[in-house]
Amino acid sequence: MSQPRFGRMIPAMVTPFDENRELDLDKAQALAARLVDGGSDSLIINGTTGESPTVFYPQKIELFRAVVEAVGDRVPVIANVGDNCTADTVDFAREVAELGVDGFMCVVPYYNKPPQEGIYQHFRTIANAVELPIILYNVPSRTGVSFTAETYQVLSQNPRINGVKEASGNFSLLAHTRFLCPDDFYIWSGNDDQVVPMMSLGAKGVISVAAYIVPKSMVEMSHLCLENNFEAASKLQIEYMDLIDALFCEAQGRLHARYAAAYDCNSLHYSLMSYIVSVGQQLTTADAGLPIYFPLRPRYLAAGSYSTPILSSRGSTSTWCICIPSTHGS
């Protein structure tokens, strides 16, 4: 069986900020090191979970440089450079390559909604302009358009296109892609709640958010699938469904970023996407032993304490608190 160049369990890292809405590079480096210590094969920096639409190019450069400095000698660092402008993506990718990253991730052009020929030309142009391998990123719920299996087939012939983070949730697309594309066109599940069914159809691993909290379990899940022990892998998948649902109960980045900030200083992360008043459960997990804050939408808030937990965990101890950012209203 061929081995994916970037491995099988790849966290999509959050982008930590401080209370002044500035990049917290020290925290980013510490988080990257922790993820590698937890068994990550590679790291994806400044993707959807990293709030790429609201991180400006100069900040991205600082972030990529900091993570490469922290863990670049331990695991591959994959920089998300995708944009809906082909020329901008090429120029930015060339600049980022000078920082020592090991590869790129590029999303389907969003908002523009190009036809399949436009998608092909976009990625062909990028791949032919750079020297590093590329992971495609298919997330039609955010971009408004999806790859077809036939477009994957044509792009898979380009030696710089390594595979795809497939987050469409379309199992028919996955099956057709596996049928049409060679074995060295790797597919990673882009949805933590679909790792096992996707790997049963030939995906090679997962680009994960849940790996922040249960890294060892996500590694184990993918390895069980590779051993064709789908019964045991399914048990893990089902066991963590509540956790995965909680991770996505708000817009991407909010909860994950709070966790990134909380793990070493118990402080709230101030997301650039938006600020929310949050209620959190401080949860200690067997994997991490670190505090995590789970948010609720502001309309659910009321005076007093909450008696119903958002999420339960085996062997956990829970402390409830209301966390209100002092610099922003509700």
- Kindly report the pTM of this predicted structure: 0.80
pLDDT > 90: percent of the chain: 63
Please state, rounded to an integer, the average pLDDT across all residues of the chain: 80
Residue 259: pLDDT band by 50, 70, 90 thresholds? low
Look at residue 251 in the predicted model and tell me its pLDDT.
Answer: 56
Position 312 pLDDT exceeds 80:
no
Look at residue 330 in the predicted model and tell me its pLDDT.
Answer: 28
Averaged over 56-66, what is the pLDDT?
96
Averaged over 188-216, what is the pLDDT?
93
Position 297 pLDDT exceeds 90:
no
Averaged over 205-219, what is the pLDDT?
89
Position 263 pLDDT exceeds 80:
no
pLDDT > 70: percent of the chain: 75
Look at residue 20 in the predicted model and tell me its pLDDT.
Answer: 84
- Catalytic annotation on 263? no
- Catalytic annotation, pick one of 27, 60, 165, 204: 165
Please name each of the domains of the chain with its CATH number.
9-247 (3.20.20.70), 269-323 (no CATH)
52-61, 115-124, 189-198, 245-254: segment of lowest average pLDDT: 245-254
Look at residue 289 in the predicted model and tell me its pLDDT.
Answer: 37
- Give the integer Cα–Cα distance in Å for 328 and 320: 21
- Catalytic annotation on 270? no
Residue 325: pLDDT band by 50, 70, 90 thresholds? very low
Position 284 pLDDT exceeds 90:
no
Residue 107: pLDDT band by 50, 70, 90 thresholds? very high
Look at residue 252 in the predicted model and tell me its pLDDT.
Answer: 52
Look at residue 160 in the predicted model and tell me its pLDDT.
Answer: 97
User: What number of CA atoms fall less than 13 Å from residue 34's CA on the CB side?
Assistant: 22
- Catalytic annotation, pick one of 137, 259, 270, 275: 137
Look at residue 167 in the predicted model and tell me its pLDDT.
Answer: 97
Give tens-digit pLDDT for 242-253. Answer: 878 777 765 554
Residue 144: pLDDT band by 50, 70, 90 thresholds? very high
- Give the integer Cα–Cα distance in Å for 82 and 68: 19
Residue 285: pLDDT band by 50, 70, 90 thresholds? very low
Give tens-digit pLDDT for 66-102. Answer: 999 999 999 999 999 999 999 999 999 999 999 999 9
Look at residue 314 in the predicted model and tell me its pLDDT.
Answer: 30
Look at residue 1 in the predicted model and tell me its pLDDT.
Answer: 53
Q: Which two tokens stand for residue 32?
A: 């990257």
Position 303 pLDDT exceeds 60:
no
